[in-house]
Chains A and B, each alone.
Chain A
Amino acid sequence: MPIIVNVDVMLAKRKMSSGELAEKVGITPANLSILKTNKAKAIRFSTLEKLCEVLNCKPGDILDYVK
């Protein structure tokens, strides 16, 4: 899929662990892993909103389009 999820990059920039992000966003570590490994088929607006809120960034910082 050409949509890439850059959560791990944002986590590194914010020096935050995956577990901490999962807890703050309110998703399971397994689901966060699916998101990080680009296995996710879709992302809910509510999850994206929470991710942006916790990581203090915009959706474009998390999602990228690669041809």
Chain B
Amino acid sequence: MKISGEKSLSSKVENGLKVLFLVITLLDIVTLGVSGVAIFSEFNSFSVRENYLTRIVLEAIISVVLLSTGIVALFIIHQFIKIFKNLKESKLFEKGNAKCLNKICTMSIVIGSLYLICLIGVCILLEYFNTIDFLSSLLIKVLILVFAVAFLVFGIGIKILNYIYIKAIEYKEENDFTI
């Protein structure tokens, strides 16, 4: 199977990423609406609890952080679409691809950091307003930590791949300009 060029694996992946981009955009909008309505209705409810406002603010912060990771993920997918579009056009060693990889690296680290911020928020929320059992709260914390570490490691990995890619471009240029 062809990797680059028209009707190749790259063009199929590009189309798949475009669908994923649309799905994540829709999910982000739905989540924004649902969490917004949930927080607003809880804020307007008559049930007054201890440190009620703090909890609402904390929940809102966590929701905003999680939503922003979705938006940053959209940027990452957009960069991948650009790379696969170049591969479709058989532009393998383009400087533009290296720039895209660099942006992906930065954005992955941003997502990882946002998850870490979210983890702190969740820890405070579960510590002071614990409504679930210990095992479930531990599972939530571990899951968020795994996501954070995964994105940070992915970002660093992409940084290394970007370095190799830049070197490959340099070697190709040297080869092209050898007469």
Q: Which residues of A contact B (CB under 8 A)?
A: 27, 31-32, 34-35, 39-44, 47
Contacts and interface: CB of A to CB of B under 8 A. Distances in A.
Contacts, number: 23
A21 to B, nearest CB: 12
Q: Is the interface of B mostly helix, strand, loop or mixed?
A: mixed
B51 interface: no
Nearest to B174: A41
B178 interface: yes
B177 interface: yes
Interface string B161-179: 0000000000001100111
Contacts of A47: 179
A39 B178 contact: no
A41 B177 CA distance: 5
Interface in B52-84: none
A31 B177 CA distance: 8
Contacts of A40: 177-179
Nearest to B170: A41
Contacts of B173: 41
A32 B179 CA distance: 8
Nearest to B178: A42
B136 to A, nearest CB: 61
A52 B178 CA distance: 17
A47 to B, nearest CB: 5
A6 to B, nearest CB: 15
Contacts of A31: 179
A47 B177 CA distance: 13
Nearest to A39: B177
Nearest to A48: B179
A40 B175 CA distance: 10
Contacts of B177: 34, 39-42
A28 to B, nearest CB: 9
Contacts of A35: 179
Given A41-B177, A47-B179, 17 more contacts: A31-B179, A32-B179, A34-B177, A34-B179, A35-B179, A39-B177, A40-B177, A41-B173, A41-B174, A41-B178, A42-B174, A42-B177, A42-B178, A42-B179, A43-B178, A43-B179, A44-B179
B153 to A, nearest CB: 36
